[in-house]
Amino acid sequence: MPELFVGKLWDRLIKRAVEHRVINTQVLFEDIVKPAGILFRALGGDAGLALKISQSTHHQGERSWLRRVARSEEKIELAWRDDEALYLPSSINLFPDASLNRELYFWLAALAVEIRDGSWFIENQQATARLLNKFPGLNARYQRLLHATLLCRPDIGSLSTDNAAQEEILRQALTMPGYKSLLPQAQYPWHPVHLWLHPSPPLSANTPSAPPARLKEFEQNENSKLVAQDQRKHKAERQDIQERKDGFMMFFRAESILSWAEYIKVNRPTDDDENEDAQRAADQMDVITVTRDGKSTASRIRFDLDLPPEESDDMPLEEGILLPEWHYKKNQLLTDHCRVQSMVAINATPSALPAHLTVTAQRIRRQFETLVSVRAWQKKQDEGAEIDMDAYVQHKVERQRGAFVANNGLFKTLYAQERNLSCLLLADISQSTDAYVNNNMRIIDVIRDSLFLFSEALFVTADQFGLYAFSSLRRDQVRFHVIKSFSEKYNDQVRGRINAIKPGYYTRMGAAIRHAGSLLSKQVSHQRILLLLTDGKPNDLDWYEGRYGIEDTRMALNEVRAQGIRPFCVTIDEKAGSYLPYLFGAGGFIVIHDPSQLPHKLLSLYTKIIP
Amino acid sequence: MTKSVASISEVTLPRVASEIPFYKPHGSEVELFEHAFSQQLPLLIKGPTGCGKTRFVTHMAARLKRPLYTVSCHDDLTATDLVGRHLINDSGTYWNDGPLTRAVREGGICYLDEVVEARKDTTVVLHPLTDDRRILPLERTGEILQAPPQFMLVVSYNPGYQNFLKGMKPSTRQRFVSLRFGFPQPELEQDVVIAETGIDPETAKLLVKLVSALRSLKAHDLEEVASTRLVVYAASLIKNGFAPVAACRAALVEALTDDEEIINALMEVVNACFGE
């Protein structure tokens, strides 16, 4: 299509004509996300908020003729905060100096701490004033940013009269924050204020009446290619699903490409393609309409595919254990909200250790033999609790004989490496572990190897351990697979069950942790460790995702800690750094970048956390 | 490997301190200590590192005019390190009192710092001392010491410490009157910093604000929180003319973490307070 080609070429040329910023002053969100998060929390921001990339929004301020032709700056990215996350631009390239761009990120993160509800114009000024008053060190930074910002703002002379008046007031409000209370109206909206937060942040899709379903079409897609871009939050509006009995409606009009933005729930349940254009279109949209039931066609289909035939399913051991779940918005523990079913694989055939692991297992067994705890008197010590009578008598005799002997090695000491611990390894075997990590291994295979080697090692040290795995399908079916209970011996039967683990379903982490905690608390040991092995965030088919899932998991972990259990997490989720500190604390987890290293890392970790 | 506590304290025998060290009370802890002392009750102080536990005990010992025996517990500390042991000299063996025994004999205050660090069997020797019997049996010499009314046992530990696997046995913990220390309120901490270093109130206020900000990162980004002691260090550097940002880096930020990325982030917080 030549029109398309020419169109793209024109777009590139004209945009280049108006963009005169130097590209290497750009600062990216990824580079500052961690420090900006720390600053945000240190200055008093809510630790439960994640940091995300803001969605670009439309901007209709007065622009120069050339910019209007180029349609440049139509979309801008500003920062804002809601009760789920703090949103920052994906990159900042506003100033000709990279350090200033970086400082702007930090400024926005700091301002987001102070901002409260109220008029955008007044509240931003007052938040700025409050912040500068509280943290005087920011004054110099603000002055630098202010100076650079004023240089970037449109020339007052070039604006129409009412816009010029508006711009004048804005400039004064920026220079002396806290004194201006009214922003005059003008024909065009004002030029965006990059030092302030978003004037009308895109609505969060979480209305209190509805479950916190964000746009699952995008978020739940397990294709990493799509997920990678999907830290963006889409401005969403809710619309009740229209009930039409006849259901016959022309959903698709070929001539109207804009229909993408109007209604996403098209009646095409078999169209499951991951359309790159659709993803791009979604990124560029201001508003995506989702239906109030919050379910996408794709996830509904996935749900059906996930269900294994009844006869090959594992056998539920009992009717189920009812466990609570934490609802962070209601701030209450919903009692008997989840049903955990303990299961044991029925078709597991007893087996030996897989051949590819025998050599590694042998080496690991040797390494771990040194950890076997012993407690014995060590004789001939220079210092110690007791006199080493043998040495002392001999010493005396030698002295009596007139020989010269030194006064050392006459004591004995009780040298003990006490260890009395129980360790429960809980593996996440949700559907996502079916992904491949390299050419011949899936995540589930790596987890299986880890379970084998972990058992080999702990069998040698004689530490108490249990192996469990979990997955979930909504709150009524949290599947808790027993691989090895604490009382069982590690034998061929257990190895057979390790072999039988297979990926499926979702990750309702809170319930699984609670149940694991109750199993572990029954163990009589001085130390109890819960090791969680996972590949991603908590999520389930219903509203168990995002902050809800994180907060429930956090609550479950707190409950477990209160029982004197130390939870620890090993994850292969690259993005885990953004939420795991909130759950496990700074030293409570490790992220493994190369999943094939998991078995080794797991064991070296174990040797580090045991006393 | 085991450091002989007995032989060290032999060299520097604690005496009643001639002047009372500075201590600014947070609440009623001074009265509680005095009552516990007069009622012969053992005291347990819990609180994060550097919040003033040791200073408080030193202050109280001087105030009550009792010699103070401080033992910093570690995981190789055995019961013999506390009670005493037989040593050998040219003429044979002789008994050497440990710090606990000596405190009992003299009627002093014995302060076991970070008591959970000690092995669990070690703390069992404290049991007969901490109930109404108030005796210390010396198993190896056959002596049974009756503690005089002036003897007091004080132990401390840090509940949120990294060493999560160690806890205090309930049977030990339930023998003590407990006192919880936290970091002082900002105004109080400011007063402490000023009193310790003589720094100007404006800088002290900013330092305390900074340290409160850093403390709010506990558990999420940092494992440890900045103590009042570190604030005092930073203040003395600044008071001596060292640049505030660099002083905060050296005394506060670098002390909290080794991770360079987190250090840079914490420096942003420092800059928010002292930046130029």
With an 8 Å Cβ cutoff, are B165 and A581 in contact? no
Is A198 a domain residue?
Answer: no
**What 3-state DSSP class applies to A481?**
strand
pLDDT the model gives residue A110: 92
Count, in order, helices (H) and strands (E) of chain A: 20, 21
Closest C-alpha to A297, from A370, A221, A235: A221
Q: Indicate if A537 and A478 belong to the same structural domain.
A: yes
Which of B206, B217, B275 comes nearest A41 by C-beta?
A: B217
Contact A421 B165 (CB under 8 A): yes
In chain A, pLDDT over 70 holds for what percent of residues?
74
The model's pLDDT over B17-67, given as tens digits with 9 standing for 90+, comes to: 778 999 999 889 999 999 999 999 999 998 888 889 999 999 999 999 999
Please give the pLDDT value at position A367: 76
Please tell me which of the candidates A35, A414, A582 has its beta carbon nearest to residue B264.
A35
Please, are residues B156 and B72 in contact by the beta-carbon 8 Å criterion? no
Q: What was the ipTM of the complex prediction?
A: 0.78
Nearest to A507 by CA among A526, A530, A532: A532
Query: Three-class SS of residue A340?
Result: strand
Backbone angles phi, psi at B110, to 5 degrees: -105, 125
CATH class of B5-180: alpha beta
**Could you identify the residue written with the tokens 């180029």?**
A70
Instruction: Give the mean pLDDT of B101-118.
Output: 91
Q: Do A463 and A483 reside in the same domain of the chain?
A: yes
**pLDDT exceeds cutoff 50 at B93:** yes
CA pair distance A125, A463, nearest whole angstrom: 60
**Closest C-alpha among A160, A189, A155 to residue A61:** A189
- Gap between the Cα atoms of B191 and B199, Å rounded: 10
Residue A238 sits in the same domain as residue A379: no
- Give A423's contacts in chain B (Cβ within 8 Å): none
What lies within 8 Å, CB to CB, of B58 at 6+ separation is: B17, B21, B23, B68
The phi, psi pair for A428, rounded to 5°, reads -85, 120
Residues of A with CB under 8 A from a CB of B: 34-39, 41-44, 47, 106, 110, 134-138, 140-141, 381, 383-387, 392, 407, 410, 413-414, 418, 421, 526-527, 564, 566, 581-582, 585-587, 610-611
Contacts of A99 (CB under 8 A, 6+ apart): none
Is residue A461 in some structural domain? yes
The set of long-range contacts for B196-201, using a CB threshold of 8 Å and a minimum separation of 24, is B196/B22, B196/B232, B196/B235, B196/B236, B197/B232, B197/B235, B197/B236, B197/B239, B198/B239, B199/B235, B199/B236, B199/B238, B199/B239
**Alpha-helix runs per DSSP H in A115-220:** 120-134, 138-152, 161-175, 216-219
Determine the distance from the C-alpha atom of residue A338 to the mean position of all C-alpha atoms in its chain, rounded to a whole number: 23
A53 confidence band (pLDDT: 50, 70, 90): confident
Indicate whether A339 and A473 sit together in one domain. yes
* Among B166, B261, B273, beta carbon nearest to A35: B261
Which of A135, A140, A384 lies nearest to residue B276, judging by beta carbons? Answer: A140
> Quick one: average pLDDT of A25-46?
89
Name chain B contacts of A526, Cβ cutoff 8 Å.
120, 165
Does A292 lie in the same domain as A323?
A: no
Does residue A444 share a domain with residue A361?
yes
Pairwise CA distance, residues A550 & A583, whole Å = 7
Joined tokens for residue A189: 């909206």
Question: Residue A584 and residue A566: Cα distance in Å, rounded?
Answer: 10
Tell me the residue range of the domain where A605 lies.
315-367+419-609
Phi, psi angles (nearest 5°) of residue A508: -90, 85
Greater confidence, A260 or B89?
B89
Q: Residue ranges per domain, chain B?
A: 5-180, 186-274
> Tokens standing for A311?
């006869």
- The nearest alpha carbon in chain B to A385 belongs to B80
Is residue A517 situated within a structural domain? yes
Q: How far apart are CA B197 and CA A123, in angstroms?
A: 39
DSSP secondary structure letters along A353-370: --GGGHHHHHHHHHHHHT
pLDDT at A543: 82
Q: Are residues A430 and A398 in the same domain?
A: no
Quick count: other Cβ atoms within 10 Å of Cβ A28?
Answer: 15
Which helix or strand (DSSP H or E) is residue A562 part of?
helix A546-562
Does residue A288 register a pLDDT over 80?
no
Longest Cα–Cα distance of chain A, Å, equals: 115
Q: Is the pLDDT of residue B199 over 60?
A: yes
Which residue in B88, B223, B270 is closest to A387 by CB distance?
B88
Query: What share of chain B has pLDDT > 90, as a percent?
Result: 58
pLDDT band at B8 (very low <50, low <70, confident <90, very high): very low
Contacts of A34 in chain B (CB under 8 A): 261-262, 265
Residue A206: the pLDDT is 40
Are A569 and A584 in contact by the 8 Å Cβ rule? The answer is yes
Residue A288 placed within a domain: yes
Residue from A31, A143, A383, A578 to probe the interface with B (highest B Cβ count within 10 Å): A383
Residues of chain B with a CB closer than 8 angstroms to some CB in chain A: 1-4, 78-81, 85-86, 88, 93, 119-120, 162, 164-167, 206, 209, 213-214, 216-217, 219-223, 261-262, 264-266, 268-276
pLDDT at residue A266 tops 50: no
Interchain pair A135, B88: CB under 8 A: no
How many domains does one find in chain A?
4
Coil, strand or helix: which one is B99?
A: helix
Give the pLDDT score at A579.
84
Residue A43, pLDDT > 50, answer yes
Facing residue for A582 by CB, picked from B220, B261, B271: B220
Consecutive H or E run containing A31? helix A29-42
What pLDDT score does B19 carry? Answer: 85
**Do both A399 and A434 map to the same domain?**
no
**pLDDT single digits (tens) A413-466:** 877 655 678 899 999 998 888 888 878 888 888 888 888 988 888 888 878 899
In a domain, A209, yes or no: no
Contacts of residue A363, defined as CB under 8 A and 6 or more positions apart, other chains included, come to: none
pLDDT bucket at A294, cuts 50 / 70 / 90? very low
| Same domain assignment for residues A112 and A154 | yes
Same domain, A15 and A155: yes
